[in-house]
Structure 1
Amino acid sequence: MNAVKMNVPFFKASIGSEEEKAVIDVMRSGWLTTGSQALAFEKEFSEKVHSPFALCVNSNTSGMILAMEALGVNRENAVITTPYTFVSTAASARHLGADVFFADIEKDSYSIDPNSIEKILKSPDGKKVKAIVPVHIAGNVCNMNAIMNLAEKYNVKVIEDCAHSFPSKTQSGYAGTIGDAGIFSFYATKTMTTAEGGMVTVKDSAVAKRITQMRLHGMDRTTWDRYTSPKASWEYDIIAPGYKANLPDILAALGRVQLKRAEEFDRKRKIHAAYYNSNLKKLDFIKLPPDSEGNAWHLYLMRLDLSKLKCSRDDFARELQQMGVGISMHFIPLFNFSYWKNLYHGFTPENFPNAQQHYLETITLPLWPDMTEEMCAYVVDCIKTIGEKYHG
């Protein structure tokens, strides 16, 4: 164990002088809300992931609600997703009045299990399903071939939750471009950031138009168009009671620079993940995280083999924190929360054994581009020290 204690943050965004200049330029331009920077950001992101349409929004959650609404999710139907996700995935459907059916994750990964999805689709409740919402947890892309086959077989939409998965890429294309829609997050801790924000990718022009209108109060003209075109700014129509979900130019400008650096960030994350893998695989009480095709390595999900340790996951995690290692938990399955337990009877850990087991065994380690090898080594040393203390 290293003699000198370090403090290794769970995450620190990589922000440099180019990002600072881009934001200041917007501040000095006199146009702060959604405008030319947001339009340019959409074009550049669309080109990057090869999506016909990319629409920036103020959060992944807003994007999820907009995409679901545009694809017909409403109080008359339901979506299928995983309980092993952040609450916004399922809450977005509830905001639209839809029911949520949950499928367990795979035994050896954090991804939703296609077999569990099909059990729901084959059940009487399956007739109510409008969309499947797979979540690409930690940057690992779900089994999209199987999921897309199910979508075709049962005539349902696929809305990819890509909060963790930029720039994950498979033989079928970038995550977020395989299904009917993909929703990305640019929250502060993500693989690239706009501080707060997100992007929706879609293939259908009618869906793109609906999202464009609904993200700004249901107006048939954008603010940029209203104040830069010859047509009078006050001449517009409201086509539906929309939302307030647009991304301001200040944040879009930050995102444009981060997008240029995305490959750099991706390369550095993979170096750190490889360091963890090569060192942690030597420890018999560690289960390495899955590493699927095109993994973006947004998170490093370390699983403990508790049969070899005389402690709980929480005991292990607290000791890491006491040693200065910033950690997190991804995720607390939704069946642990009061709202979901009270809403759906039978939504219990016993009915989702894989999700519950993964949760009880998993600790999320620091993984960010500007980490040093010394930081990674310190994290590994701390894990070894705690493991030796509690080894059975």
Structure 2
Amino acid sequence: MTDVSKSVSQPVPMLDFSRQFHEIRFEVLNAIEEVCLSQKFILGPQVTSFEQSAATACAVPHAVGCASGTDALWLAMAAANIGSPDPGLNPSRDAVITSPFSFFATVSAILRCGARPVLADIDPATYNLSPAAVEAVLDSPQGASVKAVLPVHLYGQCADWDAFAALKGRHDLLLIEDAAQAFGAAWNGIPAGALGDAAAFSFYPTKNLSAFGDAGLLTTTSASLDDHARILRAHGMRRRYYHEEIGWNSRLDSIQAAILEVKLRYLPRWNQQRRDLAANYDQLFRAAKLTGGTVQDGIVLPFTDPRATHVFHQYVIRAPRRDALRQYLTDLQIGSEIYYPVPLHLQESLAFLGYKAGDFPHSEAAAAEVLALPMYPELREDEQQTVVEAIRAFYA
């Protein structure tokens, strides 16, 4: 390897929140001040306003703000009557099929609503849940108890919704979108959040649309599901202190909603900047002659399905000798991250699901090869050049 320390003249952070805040500082601070003056801190008018704006952005009639993306996943399933908080009331254990290559909340939310997670492998090109793998499960003995499929729009690209919609028609099941990383993404022009029976978004600070803390959102086209979710997020209450069922405290803070509504106005431009940066990364890697069709041939660049509008929550490559490359970049103060190093079926806490190494080879290969590079709207072209030059030097 070449000593690149002289040619790499600057650190490149994985994410720099200060750049975005600098652009919208006064709008955000004014929005926060309005909440403070109103003294309506939880489920105040700013929450209602943001819910309406988010519903419009997602082309759905209903949006329900909540405390986190994890809660949004639980709310989406619980409001659709999937599972039960009491296993004795659900002896058949409703099953939900999802991906083993996702953040832990995708599976933990299924367990929390009293359902049983069933896993199926991913499409190795998009990293999203494979419809063919899902249908194989549906056609197996496990398929009889499946009530819903939970595809994840990983890294900001929608799952193959044409295929999942066809599965829904053939098997009479619910489709719940894990759209935590995909606000502003679309499939055949239909926004994420409007594709399934319900969808869950996260506004964790690293997301494309991000709060100044935890926050989440459920979207749906169903008035009954919307109503049920609103009850569940407030301890099962429709009327104060009258609890119709066992819910949870998952209300959205007004300050977070106010911040999110400011940012929502900028999001289309920010997402386009991410797409432009992704295209520039592609060009830089190809110009450096680093790319290949597999990791045996070189770096594998992200694939965008032509039916998808990708929002590049992450720019993720497959890299030969991934762990050594990441350490090399770290030594040069160049940010990177692995999403995700251990597939869910191999997590210690989920061993009781009964899966073993080798059950989902595409997910396991991805976990060993993927590397996310710096990606945010304010990233500069010279910083991208620094990242690619460092990677070129590593493989030299």
- Cα shift at 1:377: 1.1
**Residue 202 (structure 2) aligned to one of 161, 182, 185:** 185
- Cα shift at 1:274: 1.1
Asked if the contact 1:9/1:366 (under 8 Å) is kept, the reply is: yes
SS, match of residue 217 in structure 2: strand
Indicate the residue corresponding to 1:296 in structure 2. 311
**Residue 347 (structure 2) aligned to one of 337, 351, 356:** 337
- Cα shift at 1:172: 5.4
Asked if the contact 1:8/1:326 (under 8 Å) is kept, the reply is: yes
SS, match of residue 9 in structure 1: coil
Asked if the contact 1:72/1:130 (under 8 Å) is kept, the reply is: no
Structure 1 ranges of 4+ moved more than 4 A: none
- Cα shift at 1:219: 1.1
Q: Distance in 1 between matches of 2:125 and 2:43?
A: 43
Q: Distance in 2 between matches of 1:130 and 1:150?
A: 12
Asked if the contact 1:58/1:197 (under 8 Å) is kept, the reply is: yes
Q: Aligned AA for 1:367?
A: M
Indicate the residue corresponding to 1:115 in structure 2. 132
Asked if the contact 1:140/1:290 (under 8 Å) is kept, the reply is: no
Structure 2: which 5+ runs fail to align?
84-89, 292-297
Indicate the residue corresponding to 1:155 in structure 2. 172
- Listed as ranges, the matches of 1:27-176 within 5 Å are 27-74=36-83, 75=90, 76-171=93-188, 173-176=190-193
SS, match of residue 201 in structure 1: strand
SS, match of residue 243 in structure 2: coil
- Cα shift at 1:107: 2.8
Q: Aligned AA for 1:316?
A: L
SS, match of residue 286 in structure 1: coil
- Cα shift at 1:24: 2.3
**Residue 360 (structure 1) aligned to one of 339, 352, 368:** 368
Indicate the residue corresponding to 1:376 in structure 2. 384
Asked if the contact 1:114/1:146 (under 8 Å) is kept, the reply is: yes
**What TM-score, normalized to structure 2?**
0.90
Aligned residues: 367
Asked if the contact 2:121/2:360 (under 8 Å) is kept, the reply is: yes
- Cα shift at 1:372: 1.2
Q: Aligned AA for 1:383?
A: I
Answer yes or no: is 1:220 the counterpart of 2:238. yes
After superposition, the CA RMSD in angstroms is: 1.4
Indicate the residue corresponding to 1:283 in structure 2. 290
Asked if the contact 2:345/2:353 (under 8 Å) is kept, the reply is: no
Q: Distance in 2 between matches of 1:163 and 1:187?
A: 9
Q: Distance in 2 between matches of 1:148 and 1:248?
A: 34
**1:210-231: CA deviation from partner (whole Å, max 9, x where unpaired):** 000100111104xxxxxxxxxx
Asked if the contact 1:5/1:323 (under 8 Å) is kept, the reply is: no
- Cα shift at 1:348: 2.3
Q: Distance in 2 between matches of 1:21 and 1:382?
A: 41
- Cα shift at 1:31: 1.8
**What TM-score, normalized to structure 1?**
0.91
Structure 1: which 5+ runs fail to align?
222-234, 307-311
Asked if the contact 1:12/1:189 (under 8 Å) is kept, the reply is: no
